[in-house]
């Protein structure tokens, strides 16, 4: 295969990937953000404490997250058809991608929002703010750097998932690598595709880290270290320990990596992809 043959293939694949990942990210953020916040708010000691609802949402999220993507895609075919009118092509791939990414992102959001100092919530309450004010003025803005990192992680994971979208004829870089590179023994094309993916992912990670760090630098290093869980009503020490960002937030959900930390977040998507395969 010559370069002139490869080029249009690669170009088309790039656009397909960006199109699918772009839309599914938008949907994942729109759906996952409120879900993640709701998980925090309804937890014990939260502002909207509702243990039953919390358990239900938590379980739904867990089930959705444990589903291998390729199975999810097949399982959702009926639903996909009812929305897009088809089960093949780029649009059809967006539906399972988005639905797979919503719970993933929701867990990352949950972790990020939990890190917001409970004292800030208390402060806004003492000013007469309601729950919505707390969400709008405290939880989201204060966890924004982490949320941006979570979005980066989600995008990278979605690029990994989108390789499988080829099975429904959606195209994309992963699809090219499998169909041409692997199945037709076009090793050269496969490596080029992998290289392109590597560049794309590095770029996304770089931009995401840059944005998150920029926000951190503006507000960061403050006394308001994200130590305390929202659940505790009493303010505890929030002076001092900010130093290394959020790399220790991971354990909580077992899903995301410490955002804003290039090292760990680069590993997570890889782990996710391998799980799916």
Partner 1 sequence: METPVITTTGLTKIYRAHRSRGREVTALDGVDLHVREGEVYGVIGQSGAGKSSLIRCVNLLERPTAGTVSVAGQDLTALAGRGPRAGKELRQARSRIGMVFQHFNLLSTRTVQDNVELPLEILGKSGKERSRKALELLDLVGLSDKAKSYPAQLSGGQKQRVGIARALAGDPKVLLSDEATSALDPETTRSILHLLRDLNRQLGLTVLLITHEMDVVKTVCDSAALMENGRIVESGTVTELLATPGSELAAALFPVGGDASGDDRTVIDVTFHGDAATRPVISQLSRTYNIDISILGAAMDTVAGRQVGRMRIELPGRYEDNVVPIGFLREQGLQIELVGAAALASALVKEGAK
Q: What residue ranges bind partner 1 (CB under 8 A)? A: 44, 47-49, 117, 119-120, 122-131, 133, 137-138, 141-142, 144, 215, 218-224, 233-239
Tell me which residue of 259, 276, 237, 275 sits closest to 70, measured CA to CA: 276
38/189 with CB nearer partner 1: 38
| Backbone dihedral region for residue 243 (phi beyond 0: left; psi -120 to 50: alpha; all else: beta) | left
Tell me which DSSP letter residue 27 carries.
H
- 9 near 173, Cβ under 8 Å? no
The minimum distance between CB 249 and partner 1, in angstroms, equals 17
42/268 with CB nearer partner 1: 42
89/220 with CB nearer partner 1: 220
- 123 Cβ contact partners less than 8 Å away, ≥ 6 residues apart: none
91/122 with CB nearer partner 1: 122
64/140 with CB nearer partner 1: 140
| Separation between Cα atoms, residue 35 and residue 57, nearest integer Å | 8
DSSP class per residue in 230-245:
TT--S----SS--SS-
Number of Cβ atoms within 10 Å of the Cβ of 221:
11
The minimum distance between CB 248 and partner 1, in angstroms, equals 18
64/123 with CB nearer partner 1: 123
| Separation between Cα atoms, residue 146 and residue 215, nearest integer Å | 10
The minimum distance between CB 44 and partner 1, in angstroms, equals 7
The minimum distance between CB 49 and partner 1, in angstroms, equals 6
The minimum distance between CB 32 and partner 1, in angstroms, equals 21
The minimum distance between CB 35 and partner 1, in angstroms, equals 20
């Amino acid at each position: 295969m010559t370069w002139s043959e490869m080029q249009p293939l690669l170009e088309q694949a790039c656009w397909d990937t960006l199109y699918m990942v772009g839309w599914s990210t938008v949907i994942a953020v729109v759906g996952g953000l409120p879900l993640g916040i709701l998980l925090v708010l309804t937890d014990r000691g939260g502002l909207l404490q509702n243990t039953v609802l919390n358990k239900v949402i938590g379980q739904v999220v867990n089930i959705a997250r444990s589903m291998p993507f390729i199975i999810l895609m097949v399982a959702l075919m009926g639903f996909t058809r009812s929305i897009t009118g088809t089960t093949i092509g780029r649009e059809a791939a967006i539906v399972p991608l988005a639905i797979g990414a919503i719970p993933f992102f929701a867990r990352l959001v949950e972790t990020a929002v939990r890190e917001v100092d409970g004292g800030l919530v208390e402060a806004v309450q003492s000013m007469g703010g309601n729950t919505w004010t707390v969400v709008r003025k405290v939880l989201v803005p204060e966890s924004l750097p982490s949320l941006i990192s979570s979005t980066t992680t989600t995008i990278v994971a979605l690029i990994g998932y989108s390789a499988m979208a080829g099975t429904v004829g959606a195209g994309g870089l992963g699809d090219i690598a499998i169909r041409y590179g692997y199945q037709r023994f076009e090793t050269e094309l496969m490596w080029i595709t992998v290289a392109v993916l590597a560049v794309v992912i590095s770029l996304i990670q770089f931009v995401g880290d840059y944005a998150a760090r920029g926000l951190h630098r503006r507000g960061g290093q403050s006394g308001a270290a994200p130590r305390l869980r929202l659940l505790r009503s009493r303010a505890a020490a929030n002076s001092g320990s900010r130093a290394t960002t959020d790399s220790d937030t991971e354990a909580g959900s077992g899903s995301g990596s410490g955002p804003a930390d290039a090292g760990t977040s680069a590993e997570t998507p890889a782990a996710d992809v391998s799980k799916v395969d």
